[in-house]
Structures are given as C-alpha cells and as structure tokens.
Structure 1
Amino acid sequence: MDNQVIKFVRQKDFVLEKRLGQGATGNTVLLHDPVINERFACKKYEPANPAHASQFFDAFVREIKLLHLINHPNIVRVFNYHLFPKQNTGYILMEYVSGMDIGTHLLISQDDINDIFTQTIDGFAYLEKNGILHRDIRESNILVTSDNVVKIIDFGFGKRTTSDGNYNKSISLNWWCDLPSEFKNSLYDFRTEVYFVGKLFEKIISELQIESFKHGDLLDRMCRIEPEGRIGSFSEAKSAILDTDFGTDFSDDERQVYREFADGLSNLLRSIENDAKYYSPASVIATKLEEIYRKVMLENFLPDPTVVSSCFVNGAYRYSTNAYFEVDVLKNFIALLRKTSREKQEIILANLHSRLDAKPRHTQTPPEMDDDIPF
C-alpha cells in the first residue's frame, strides 16, 4: 500500500467562457465547472517565443509550489495544476478574481484608499511571514474584487528567501519607478518589497490627487531610496497602521453593541479547528448578517445561532448546543457595522478575531472514505 501510485484517469471537462489576458509566458482563460457551478482562471504556460519554453519552465513550476503554500484572503488561491514536462507546458487552475487592477479601482472609488492600502499591507505581511518574495509589484498584479477585497496575483517571479533573508534580484523587469539603492548591489529583500508597494501607492495617490489618505508619514518611510532609512518590514507597517487607527474613538454605545455581539459569538463557540481561517472584509460579513436577520427578524432568538458563527469562521468548529443568540443583538451589530467608517469596521473585525484566537484549537478528525476510493 505504501508508495502506491494512485491514477485518476477520469477526464474533467470545463466550459471555456472567455480569454482573460496574454502575457510573455502564456495566456489565461476563464473556465466554468458546470458540476459545482464555479468559475476558475486557468493559466497556461506557453511563452510567446517557443525557444524560451524550456528555459522558463522551472519558474512556472516554482510559481505552482509557492501558490500551494499560500492561504490568505488578499492573495489569489490555487486549486489544481497539470504539468507536461516533455512538452514544456502546463496549466494552473486558480481562483477567478472578478474585479479590476488597483489603479483603476481607486480611480473610480477614491474613498477606498485607506482600506485598500491596509489590505495590501496585510497580504504582503503574510508573504513576508512565510518567506515569500513576490518580485513583480505593479498595478496589474494587485487586483480589487467587486466586494472591495484586494487580491495579489502573478507569482511567476516569486521566490523563497534564503537563510539570510536576502535574494539576488537576478531578474530584469521593466521597472516603472526609480530603483532603490540596494539594486546597485543586486540585492532584493523584503525592504525592497516595502519600497515598491510604497512607490505604487505614492504614484496612484499623486496621479489621482487623492486627499483622504491618512498614512502619509508611513508611506514616506516606505518610499525612501536608501534601505537604512526605510521602514524595515511589512509587519512594522501593519503596526504603524494600527497606531494610526487607534486614534479612531468609539462611543460608549458603540462599545456596548460590540461587546454584546462578541460575547454572544464567544459563548457559542467551544473550539475551532486548527486549519480554519476567518472571513473578511467587514462589508462582506455585514451583507451576510443582513441576509440572516431578514429571515429571523420576527423572532426573539436565532433558531440556529451557528449561522452567525459561520459568517466569521471559514472552517470546522465545535459549538455549545445550549448557547442562544438574541435577534436584537444581531440587529444592533449590523447597524454598527453599516454606520461606521471602514477604519472602525476593520478595528471591530480585528477585535472579533482576537476573541476567536483565544478559543481552544482542535484537529479535525478525517472523515471515513468510501470503499471504492483507492486509498
């Protein structure tokens, strides 16, 4: 049984809906899976110059490996892949991001600038924590969905960091801004990524003349040419954002509404499975909660309080069957989310996540498999 090769020979059919884009190393199309009624972006490795197919195939495989290490709401997900080494080609089946690039989104919705900036920093902080350098930071590689969720895409130039945290840049891209000083020594690390993210937002804010951006001091520290004077990491940038947000005060009534809801959610959950994640952003959660409220608004208590916890926890969890959740508590919390600013929404969500983090964690028991599965 050990080391047995399991062959899946059944063909999987998709419906080609449209072509999404053509790049130097291939093209991406939109596919529809009629069985589960989901859409996927499929990236085919096929360089414009066939002579380069063998040369860059390893980089394509490396992109697949990196994407399989990543699970974060602000980074595109990979679901499957198919490789054909003899033909120097392959496919990546990824999350389809329905939206537009960050510059176009902010051209239309300038008021989103602080929320989009925070989400982008969160995504790159996650990559930094996991030792993954993107190395191709530009507007077209940071998308924003129709639900205002940032998605970092295209890890074709991505690499894991070395033991000392540095990586020879070893790439020649059409850079769109002044280069940082460390490029003189062919160095590229997370401070370099901080620089390019900073310069990207500096460029967008300047071109669109956005006046509502509130992290100007942080952005200035991110954009310094010399790495010694630059902010050192995305985790430091996250801390600086929190420091700014703490200036946002909540009234006593707002605090009371939050605490009643957080207490109800906390009392409901007993433990959370180790691999479970949290849903975001707050605007999407508020929409889900409103759908729940419309179905229970004539009740005093939610018939099934787990519908609330399922709006926050993306994964398995254990809950108390004796817990109850008042409908008025849900109603007041929805009103709080809807009337507050994006900054306050994110603080509320961060505090709820802290409550959830305090819950015990457990390992999910694997389900029993059917006899006709070969392993």
Structure 2
Amino acid sequence: MDLSFSDEDLAFKAEVREFLETKLPEDVRSYYSRGMHVPKELQVRWQKILHEQGWMAPAWPVEYGGTGWTVTQRYIAAQEFGTMGAPTPMPFGVSMVGPVIYTFGSQEQKDYYLPRILNSEDWWCQGYSEPGSGSDLASLQTKAVRDGDDYIVNGQKIWTSYAQHANMIFCLVRTDSNAKAQEGISFLLIDMNTPGITIKPIYGIDKENTLNEVFFDDVRVPVKNRVGEENKGWTYAKFLLGNERSTIARVAQSKRRVNKLKEIAKTERVDGGLLADDKDFMRKLAQIEVDLMALEYTELRMLSQEAAGKRFTAEPSLLKIKGTEIQQRLTELLVESLGMYGAPYEAMGDYEGRNDTAPGPDYANGPMAEHLYLRAATIYGGTNEIQRNIISKMVLGL
C-alpha cells in the first residue's frame, strides 16, 4: 500500500484548503468546530456553496453529479474538511438514499430525486428503527398494503434524526407478513407532507431535539415511489447501512479534537501548573492519539482496497466500532480538560432572549453538548455490540 501523495494530490490538497479558507462561512464553521449542531438554514447555505463548486457528492458517479475524484482525493478532501471545521453535507440524502436510488432506483426516480438532493431542495430523514426493532431491524412491523397504484402505510418509526426539518423520508416497510422477516420488506420514498404523518419530538440528554418519533396513519404512497422490487428492500437496506458505517468513523473530526485538546492543555491550569505538564492527562491523550492513528491507517487500507475494486464485508463494522469509541473518549477528555468550566451546559436555545453568555473561556462552549450527544455514537448506525456480531459471523464464521 503506497501512502505517499503525488504532486497532483498535493496540488489538489492546496485547492481544497484554499476553497475552504475563502468560501466556508464563519458562522457555519463556528457551530461545527465547537461540536454543536449546525442549524438547518446554515447547513443548507453551505451545501448550496458546495453544489455550486460541484463538490456536493464526491463519491457519486460523475454521470449523476459526482466529482470524479479518486479515492485518494476523497480522503484528502475529508481530512481538509475536518481540519478546517467544515461540515460535510447531511448524510441522509447524499451518503444514504442517493446511492440507493442511483444503484437500484428507476430512471424516473434518478431523474427526479438526484438533482433535488444535490441542490438541497429535499431534506431527507431515515425511517428504519421502530420501538422493539432497532438492532433487530428485520423484525420491523410498519406495514404497507397494496391498494391499486398506492400502498397504504401504517406504523411507527423512532429515533428519526431531524425529521422535524425533513420533507422526505426513505422508509422500510413490511409488504409481506407471511414471508421470512428479511424477505418481506420493501423500500419506499415517502413525502413527509402526505396526510396521516405525525412527528413527535424526542429530547436527548443534550437537551436538543435532533431525534423524533414518526407515526403513519393510513398514509398513501404511490407504488412508483418504491425503490427496486417489492419484498427486496432488505438488500437495499444493507447496502445503505454499509455506506453509513464506512463514513461514521470520522477520523478527520477526531484529529481536530486531538489538536483542540493540545491547545487547551497549553492554556488550562491544574495544581498550579499547565495541564500539558500533567502526566496522567497527557498519557490518556497520547493513548487516544495512537489508537486514532491505527484507525486512520485501517481506513487507508480500506480505501486502497476500494480503489482496487474489492467489495467489503465486515470492514465498515470495524471502522464504526473503533471510530465511535474514540469519539466518545475524546469528548470525555475534552470535558475533563475544562475542569469546572466543562460541567455547566445549557442548550443554545436556552440563551434566546437573555443577555448572559455561557460561562468560561470561549473554547468551553460546546464540548459538553458534543459529549452528551455522542454518548449515542456507539448506538446509532447499528449498536457496537451488533457490529461485533457481524464481524464474528462474517470474518470468524461463528
């Protein structure tokens, strides 16, 4: 595996860095670099800048609006985005349903939905998990019954991220209750403005409404909105989850947190000296940095295999496990590094109409929110326990 960058790659890196330095809005960067949720209006504004540049969907085939970047260029861009505190596009459209549509969808679906994803005209959410059907997703009970040219959908989805902002949801539904669990599922694209859909917020321990329940009560969905064949949705669902887990390691973002911790350690004081002189703290940071380096090289090996045309099996699960565990360790250490300033936390909305600001130095505003939110990192995208089961089955044959 050759890890050295060519002159062309280095020129590309400079191009990405220059673009981010000149085009990334400061208010977008401020939210994201602090680890806080970027408001929808700012996220859409940034995505439109990316689309204008032609960089909205780097991994898509060129014929559907992709960049034509090599695997190495995509890696370089991800690293630069992470270093500069630039958010990537919301994954539900670009990284999840978009590839499903251009791989398995009809020509009509490709022509209609793909351009709308690229120009941020549609905001997607994911209708997978249900009460009692999270890790055991194939046990889902939301039903779709054929009625002429429509399906009638009834059921409930849960943990639906940003559903309150979405106008579209890609949804797994049961279309054959008599078949084996995985063989009776279909993949539907549903307009969130359809009568019969109700959204109820779920507030996390970070006091933010990023999660929701979505209820379907006799919701009519045109059959033409089904992706692929009826009862073959589990195939498309697994394809989508592979894409989700391979992007969930977030090495670049974790490297940015490591650098932030090093800067904080040069400023914060403990027991009369700098935090950077605290051997126990620096040992924990060094161990995380070593583990992160190992994860990065694992990701690079995967990229090398992808460039060679190899199909993945359990590799995305490995990235998901280690990546999310490192994220949690880093945010926990960030909070620890801030001492008494790491403990207070109020959601951004709590400050509306008030004339006070968050306590502590400027860099203390955000780590606790990020730490609380990322307690779920080892759960979303398929729990890490389930990922270990996947590895044991696909690699060890257990």
TM range (shorter): under 0.3
Q: Which has the higher contact order (CA 8 A, sep 6+)?
A: 2
TM-score normalised to the size of structure 2?
Answer: 0.26
Larger proportion of helix: 2
TM-score normalised to the size of structure 1?
Answer: 0.27
Larger proportion of strand: 1
